[in-house]
Amino acid sequence: MMAVEVDNVSKRFRRQTIQPYTTLKSAVVDFLLRQRKPATEGTFQALQQISFTVEQGQSFGIIGRNGSGKSTLLKLLAGIYRPDRGHIRVHGKVGALLEPGAGFHPEFSGRENILVNGIVLGLSKREVRQRFDDIVRFAELEAFIDEPLKTYSSGMYMRLGFAVAVYADPDIFLIDEFLSVGDEAFQQKCADKMAEFRRRGKTIILVSHNLPMVEQWCDEALWLADGVIREQGKPHSVIEKYHKGIAEQEAKAAPPPHHGIGDGVPETAAAEMPNRWGNQEVEIVSVRMLDANEQERYVYCSGEPTRVAIRYKVHGHVEEPVFGIMITRGDGLQCYGTNTWIEGVPIPYLGKEGTVEVTLERMDLMAGTYYLDVAVHDREGLAYDHHHWLYSFSITSEFTDMGVLRIPHQWTIKP
């Protein structure tokens, strides 16, 4: 049974501009001039001919860059917007978390907002009162529930909004980046609640930039770009094509190479990269993954070897540097990490430049997307150059085992 059907949907918005009208005459003249313009002038197409279906009980992810139309699509599904063309059919009670505290009144207390928001989400007063204690307990707001919401932090807003929405018990749950807000403990509570929803056969439609979370949680994914569907299918396949598409776009838009420090990113630019840090006394210039045939490759079968080649340049006086790697699964689980100091590998004088290589003889990982961290630091942990989640690779497998690693094994049956 289908929970959501989207059929050839398009949505256009008019660009809003502030006009410095000084007289009634100027306002009337401007209105008449606008009436003569084509209907499409001064507008932008947010979504164009979007069609897809979501089955009941399915977890469905929507990904794409900012401005691609993701949030607009979610608001159409929630009934906040109406499509200009096409049809949307939603079968079941909808709960939406589109932004923290949406629908709350800042002058009302938390208690009053629970009542109002619960009724808006389809609960009766009696049902809200029956679930009130559970909502407050889940949001961890017992000490503040009678305070006005204008005194709440953004995190408290978010916790209350999520708690009300999940205890409204919708059939279809729409989420826009909501699970990425809040502290780690509350995120885990949200994840546990989402897992409970999935076990109960609820439908979840998730918009997120957190691709590992989409891959972990969703049964199917859709990639939006410039208001049109670029790809739809299994999350792993869609995310891989999304990564490839973004890389191609960035390569076309990339500025000419810098001719500063070495062949890599200049020190001033490196300091501004959120996934790279360090004082650059030793600079990691390039990182490559090489297969058994010495070919650069980033898709491997489980059990295949790889060699990580780290090219560096030295810009300062360093003693006893430590080189290390870490492999992290797409959902953030650290699978394996090591460094030259842990393994007692002696580091000779580095000179001005060179290469450090580590060979992983077998990558017995389960199928999925993984990220490679590489770093060089001193013995005390001071980073010279740390590259965090800048290199992704994929593992494929003909097997469907569960877990993180595929441990070599054999079965023996003795009837």
Report if residue 415 sits inside a domain.
Answer: no
Integer Cα distance of 249 and 13 in angstroms: 26
Domain boundaries, position 180? 2-244
Report if residue 261 sits inside a domain.
Answer: no
Phi-psi region of 316 (alpha: psi -120 to 50; beta: other; left: phi over 0): beta
Report if residue 253 sits inside a domain.
Answer: no
Report if residue 252 sits inside a domain.
Answer: no
Report if residue 264 sits inside a domain.
Answer: no
Are 76 and 201 found together in one domain? yes
Query: How far, CA to CA in Å, does 224 sit from each of 8, 72, 242, 399?
Result: 14, 11, 9, 31
The DSSP bridge partners found for residue 407 are none
Are 230 and 289 found together in one domain? no
Are 205 and 324 found together in one domain? no
Integer Cα distance of 110 and 133 in angstroms: 12
Q: For 194, phi and psi rounded to 5 degrees?
A: -65, -40
* Beta pairing, strands 172-176 & 383-396: unpaired
CA quadruple 226, 231, 236, 241: dihedral positive or negative? negative
Q: For 207, phi and psi rounded to 5 degrees?
A: -105, 125
Per-residue model confidence (pLDDT) at position 413: 94
User: Which residues 6+ apart lie within 8 Å of 393 measured at CB?
Assistant: 289, 298, 299, 300, 306, 369, 370, 371, 372
Report if residue 238 sits inside a domain.
Answer: yes
Are 273 and 384 found together in one domain? yes
Are 314 and 381 found together in one domain? yes
Are 223 and 100 found together in one domain? yes
Integer Cα distance of 161 and 225 in angstroms: 29
CATH code for the domain in which residue 326 is found: 2.70.50.60
Are 181 and 293 found together in one domain? no
CATH code for the domain in which residue 60 is found: 3.40.50.300
Report if residue 222 sits inside a domain.
Answer: yes
CA 171-178-387 angle, 5° bins: 135
Are 302 and 379 found together in one domain? yes
Are 191 and 277 found together in one domain? no
Query: What pLDDT tens digit does each residue of the chain (415 aa) get?
Result: 899 999 999 999 876 544 554 555 565 656 666 665 555 556 789 999 999 999 999 999 999 888 899 989 999 998 889 999 999 999 998 888 776 556 788 899 999 999 998 888 888 899 999 999 999 999 889 999 999 988 988 778 888 888 888 888 899 999 887 555 556 677 778 878 888 888 899 999 999 877 777 887 899 999 999 999 999 999 888 887 887 777 666 555 544 433 333 333 334 334 445 688 889 999 999 999 999 999 999 889 999 999 999 999 999 888 889 999 999 988 788 899 999 998 999 988 888 999 999 999 999 998 888 999 999 998 877 889 999 988 989 888 877 777 888 888 888 899 8
CA quadruple 31, 35, 40, 41: dihedral positive or negative? negative
Q: Which residue has the tokens 């906040």?
A: 80
Q: How many domains does the chain have?
A: 2
CA quadruple 395, 336, 280, 358: dihedral positive or negative? negative
CA 237-241-242 angle, 5° bins: 115
The DSSP bridge partners found for residue 308 are 289, 358
Are 179 and 224 found together in one domain? yes
Is residue 62 a contact partner of residue 224, using CB atoms and an 8 Å limit?
A: yes
Integer Cα distance of 208 and 34 in angstroms: 38
Return the closest-CA partner of residue 143 out of 372, 408, 222, 151: 151
Domain stops at, among 227, 244, 261: 244
What's the predicted TM-score (pTM) here?
0.59
User: Which residues 6+ apart lie within 8 Å of 200 measured at CB?
Assistant: none
Report if residue 409 sits inside a domain.
Answer: no
Are 296 and 158 found together in one domain? no
Are 336 and 225 found together in one domain? no
